[in-house]
Amino acid sequence: GQNIDQPTEMTATEGAIVQINCTYQTSGFNGLFWYQQHAGEAPTFLSYNVLDGLEEKGRFSSFLSRSKGYSYLLLKELQMKDSASYLCAVEGDSNYQLIWGAGTKLIIKP
Amino acid sequence: GAVVSQHPSRVICKSGTSVKIECRSLDFQATTMFWYRQFPKKSLMLMATSNEGSKATYEQGVEKDKFLINHASLTLSTLTVTSAHPEDSSFYICSASSSFRGSEYREQFFGPGTRLTVL
């Protein structure tokens, strides 16, 4: 079967750093996406990884290890507006279809 | 990034009626559109994939006669919830992807979602 695992909820402090992990088992792999979703809104794109390694984009970085079926999203200098759900999604075999994790709810405290 | 719109953003209807939700790609041609349903505290559930000009491909467990999808043009897809019931109440989100954009990856651009409440 196809499975993507993420922690359900994490708490961090404003200004700190947090790492959200994602492990996956899928039939085929064409890339891994991270999306941010605020309550009641559609997801917004954060990052895309298809090769192993770290992709940095401002305060957000995403890492991928295909051999381990593992990715993480790293958020630095946390701000209150970063409180949201973070969804890991893998593009598997099917045409453009994404397999979604359940999302990690990130709570930022002052 | 590309813009995808959905209409309406919220709809309340009576049980037994049908509701149509539109999804439009505003500044690009979407060869593929996806319809998702999201339950509270759950991941997005893919309902169906539609390619312009062809029949939608439904995921297992999704009733194609209940959730009618039409992708008549490269910028418009519609989802019609027929004979809606309270259990159909949910947040419906569409996304669009294009093979024409020439980007290095096939990003999906999401619409803002439609909140459906069936009384």
The per-residue pLDDT for B81 is 97
Strand A31-37 relative to strand A70-75, pairing: unpaired
Spatial CA neighbour of A103 closest among A6, A21, A14: A6
Q: Which residue of B has its CA nearest to A44?
A: B110
The burial of A80, by beta-carbon neighbours within 10 Å (0-12 exposed, 13-18 middle, 19 or more buried), is given as exposed
Q: Is the minimum CB–CB distance between B44 and chain A shorter than 8 Å?
A: yes
Q: Which residue of A has its CA nearest to B93?
A: A42
Of A42, A91, A97, the CB nearest to B110: A42
How far is B64 from chain A, CA to nearest CA, in Å?
18
Contact A100 B112 (CB under 8 A): no
The per-residue pLDDT for B99 is 59
Helix, strand, or coil here: A80?
helix
The per-residue pLDDT for A43 is 85
The per-residue pLDDT for B101 is 46
Asked if the model's pLDDT at residue B100 lies above 60, the reply is: no
Q: How is residue A51 annotated by DSSP?
A: S
DSSP track, chain B: ---EEEE-SEEEE-TT--EEEEEEESSS--SEEEEEEE-TTS-EEEEEEEETTSPPEEPTT--TTTEEEEEEETTEEEEEE-S--GGG-EEEEEEEE-SSS--SS---EE---EEEEE-
Asked if the model's pLDDT at residue B104 lies above 60, the reply is: no
The per-residue pLDDT for B64 is 92
How far apart, in whole angstroms, are the C-alpha atoms of residue A34 and residue A49? 9
Q: Which residue of B has its CA nearest to A101?
A: B43
* Sign, CA torsion A106/A91/A29/B101: negative
> pLDDT of B37-95, one tens digit each?
987 656 688 899 888 778 899 998 999 999 999 988 889 999 999 999 999 999 899 99
Of A40, A43, A50, the CB nearest to B105: A50
Q: Which residue has the higher pLDDT, B101 or B45?
A: B45
A101 chain-B contacts, CB cut-off 8 A? 43
Mean pLDDT, chain A cut into blocks of 10 residues (110 residues total) = 90 97 92 88 86 94 97 97 94 72 93
Confidence grade of residue B1 (pLDDT, cut at 50, 70, 90):
low
